[in-house]
Amino acid sequence: MKNLVIVESPAKSKTISKILGSNFIVKSSFGHIRDLPEKKIGVDVENNFEPTYEAMTKSKKVIADLKKAVAEVGHVYLATDLDREGEAIAWHLQQLLKLNDTNTDRITFHEITETAIKDAVAHPRKIDMALVDSQQARRILDRLVGYKLSPVLWKKIKRGLSAGRVQSVAVMMICDREEEIAAFVPVEYWSVTAELQKDKNDLSFKAMLVSKDGKKYEKLDIKNKQQTDDILKELENAQYKVSSVEKKERKRSPYPPYTTSTMQQDISRRLGFSSSKTMMVAQKLYEGINIGGQGVVGLITYMRTDSLNVAAVAQKEALNFIDTNFGKNFLPQKPRFYKTKSKGAQEAHEAIRPTSVKRTPEMMKQYLTADEYKLYTAVWNRFVASQMTDAVYDTVTIDIAANAYGFRASGSTLKFEGFMKVYSVTEENSKEPKLPLLASGDILNLLSITPEQHFTEPPARYNEASLIKTLEEYGIGRPSTYAPTIKTIQDRLYVRLDNKKFYPTELGMTVNKFLKANFKDVINYKFTADIEEQFDDIAENKIKWQDVIKKFYEPFSGNISQAEGADRMKVQPKATGEICPKCGKPMVIRDSRRGPFLACTGYPECKTAFSIDKDGNKISNEPEKTEEKCPKCGGVLLKKIGFKGKAYLACEHYPECKTTFALDKNGNKVIKPEPEKTDIKCEKCGSIMLKRMGKRGPFLTCSAFPKCRNLQWINKTEK
């Protein structure tokens, strides 16, 4: 009889099916098929927190298909993802499909390659219930928080709100940072820079004032203009003499290969991808890409990991590649091994790396979309660089004496690229000044001396990279939770992302204030991190999951009772001083999913609203006539302002004529190319398919749209 392999993703099932051949049937569960009920808590707090699981509505057809397949095979392999979530899905599949333990096995793999898949089938195991219990504990605790705490927020603030163990702490971080910024008082300080030169034909350079009488100046030591003027007066007619020239060699080691967290952070900085987008693209690279003659191949290893381990065979392949393509000078004296600093890292996993370094980004480019190529390049470069030798810099530090004062100039030049041959380090790209050849005792000419006033700056607002880094440093959440947490707090309108920085909304500040006042023992950094460690202990079979939930629930239920008696809190929108032009009532700034806007306080009777610019100024909604004509009906095209102040052209006869055009950054009309007719017929209705261009590249759409909505993306190999 044949064997059945059940995976989570349908894309993954296609790849694995080709690897295992005709003796295996590969089916997808499409993720979770069983969970706590949608409309009730599903946790019996009086009976040792016993959960009640139900088959998910969306999975009914999938379950029926899987049951039918199980009846027709001799052995079942549960091949869900190798994290705790995947272990739990495998257990739910076993329970729901009533799989016999004697002919059911669990298999896992870090990469979807022929070697890894066949090795997994050759070395199956049973479901690890400690891992399942760890995931159950997380799910049950989060359900208790959500179902018990959210209704309190509905009563005390407004309906539709939610709270969560991790999401609420993420909001707290952003709110706390905003409060720090609001309370920040700038402190004045000064710097003094001298421009010096040995001889007229020599290179001039700048040196900073760093000491007096041998005592080093700290950043804030020169406090005001009076102090600065006193220093300048004492430096009048001073002789500038080189007191020492120190030359050194400095080495810089490569970064380790990516984990989920570092990948999300680095890709956010380098490519501007959101954490959700990074994970979506990484999922495609992991599940498999059609690379021509080789078929569908997984290009990277599993992308939800906090481990820095690298398989010995992968490391050996990388070292051979470096030797062949860059030379022995780029090989370290001994292979590099990295140890994770992340709390509770699952060291059985691997770091994120290409499944084969022989598949270089340039070789794969023709098979990948633009985003897939960018991410694959970053993963490939980071991994290869992690196995290379250090970069080497020549540094020089020049100390200069002027009366009682000391100045210093420093610079560095890259002597040997090392790992930077393939992985550029942004902070090293800053242009350091070139320094002339000088010796101790040289007398220098002063060309100019410049005092400069500075003020200390408040802490920076979080962006996606810094928020993920901080969550990881505190041990809050795990690799699989960062992206959904960030998406949730934006979807709930607790925070907004503006110019890649997180700002708390008035709603977010109000909810955070309420939670801090009433749930400080549960919604805080330490508790959330400690709970993650306890989940790890459950996974290692050190403690029972029921004990963890019980320890949490007793004080939490007391907090709920306390919060029930708290005063209501009202979300106060920001006043502006603007008056509604229609009804004369005050206008305030409110938040929406698309950003802040100006709204009348007379809503819903008066629905006047305006977009606002980044400084909070009102943008007029009045359309502006242009000389452009509508290509469909001949009407005048009007320039209108949409959400976030973006201008566009629309026909004056709207809604009868719905012609619109986007405007580029210069205000010019953007004309989309007409769809191209093809010889391909729609497989659903038989109509001609049209070739169009989208953000992800070319695609086919049925000419009978909107009656027929058949759509097919075009692979690069099919263009």
Known catalytic residues are 302
Q: Write out the H or E segment, with its range, that includes residue 86.
A: helix 84-96
**Cα–Cα distance between 457 and 38 in angstroms, integer?**
47
Closest among 19, 25, 9 to 72, alpha carbons compared: 25
What are the φ/ψ torsions at residue 22 (nearest 5 degrees)?
-70, -15
**Cα–Cα distance between 408 and 245 in angstroms, integer?**
10
What are the φ/ψ torsions at residue 453 (nearest 5 degrees)?
-85, 140
Give the relative orientation of helices 260-271 and 482-491 as an angle to the nearest 10 degrees.
60
Tokens of 595: 């950003």
**Cα–Cα distance between 588 and 578 in angstroms, integer?**
8
- Residue 558: CB atoms within 10 Å: 11
**Cα–Cα distance between 578 and 618 in angstroms, integer?**
9
Q: Are 271 and 282 in contact (CB under 8 A)?
A: no
- Residue 268: CB atoms within 10 Å: 21
- Residue 127 vs residues 88, 124, 545: alpha-carbon distances, Å: 9, 10, 17
Q: Are 476 and 169 in contact (CB under 8 A)?
A: yes
Point out which residues pair with 501 in neighbouring strands. Answer: 498
DSSP 354-419: BS-TTS-HHHHGGGS-HHHHHHHHHHHHHHHHHTSPPEEEEEEEEEEEETTEEEEEEEEEEEE-GG
Q: Omega of the bond prior to 332 within 30 degrees of 0, cis?
A: no
Tokens of 564: 């029930």
- Residue 448: CB atoms within 10 Å: 10
Strand runs (DSSP E) across 46-125, as ranges?
50-51, 54-55, 75-78, 104-106
What number of CA atoms fall less than 13 Å from residue 98's CA on the CB side?
4
Point out which residues pair with 42 in neighbouring strands. Answer: none
Helix, strand or coil, per DSSP, at residue 93: helix
Q: Are 305 and 346 in contact (CB under 8 A)?
A: yes
Q: Write out the H or E segment, with its range, that includes residue 463.
A: none
**Cα–Cα distance between 630 and 709 in angstroms, integer?**
27
**Cα–Cα distance between 647 and 661 in angstroms, integer?**
10
Helix, strand or coil, per DSSP, at residue 76: strand
Point out which residues pair with 611 in neighbouring strands. Answer: 597, 619
Strand runs (DSSP E) across 424-505, as ranges?
443-455, 495-498, 501-504
Closest among 294, 409, 309 to 359, alpha carbons compared: 294
Instruction: Fill in the amino acid letter for 243.
Output: S
Q: Which residues contact 256 (CB under 8 A, 6 or more apart)?
A: 262, 308, 338, 351, 386
What number of CA atoms fall less than 13 Å from residue 714's CA on the CB side?
18
Helix, strand or coil, per DSSP, at residue 488: helix
Running DSSP on this structure, what letter comes out for residue 494?
Answer: S
